[in-house]
Amino acid sequence: MPIGVPKVPFRSPGEGDTSWVDIYIQAPFSKNPIDN
């Protein structure tokens, strides 16, 4: 079993920095497709 929660990089429009957010929090609210 995984120990941590999977995270994805997320950058808000207008921000230069990318932060890591839990995939279970970000994915349901994402309006754009996830690119590799």
Other beta carbons less than 10 A from residue 26's beta carbon: 15
> How, if at all, do strands 19-22 and 7-10 pair?
antiparallel
Q: Does the predicted model carry a pTM greater than 0.95? A: no
Q: What is the pLDDT of residue 33?
A: 64
Domain that holds residue 2: 1-35
Q: What is the pLDDT of residue 35?
A: 64
pLDDT digits (tens, 9 = 90+) for 1-36: 567 888 888 887 887 888 888 877 655 555 666 665
Cα 29 off chain centre by: 10
Q: In this structure, what are the phi and psi dihedrals at residue 21, rounded to the nearest 5 degrees?
A: -125, 155
Q: What is the pLDDT of residue 8?
A: 83
Collapsing DSSP to helix, strand or coil, 29 comes out as helix
Q: How many structural domains does the chain have?
A: 1
